[in-house]
């Protein structure tokens, strides 16, 4: 399963319906997130980490 698919599953599992994807970023409730692989090793980890993409926010404000 791709990172994008895992991120989508994570968002839907959380009950969030206001999201979309732009290239490799997740846009959720107007905030852009980079999708990254997570290898923390925690037993309940789903293998995906979302990090606020500050660069994406700056681009959209220009």
Q: What is the pLDDT of residue 24?
A: 85
The percent of residues in the chain predicted with pLDDT above 70, rounded, is 87
Residue/partner pairs of 12-21 with CB below 8 Å, 24 or more apart:
none
What is the torsional sign of CA 30, 33, 35, 37?
negative
Q: What is the pLDDT of residues 29-53, one digit of tens each?
A: 889 999 999 999 899 998 999 999 8
CA 33 to chain centre: 5
Q: How far apart are the first and last CA of the chain?
A: 35
Average pLDDT over residues 10-14: 93
């Amino acid at each position: 399963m791709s990172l994008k698919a895992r991120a989508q599953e994570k968002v839907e599992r959380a009950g969030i319906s206001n999201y979309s994807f732009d290239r490799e970023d997740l846009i959720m409730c107007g905030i852009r997130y980079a999708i990254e692989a997570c290898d923390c090793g925690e037993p309940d980890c789903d293998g995906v980490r979302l990090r606020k993409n500050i660069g994406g926010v700056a681009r959209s404000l220009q």
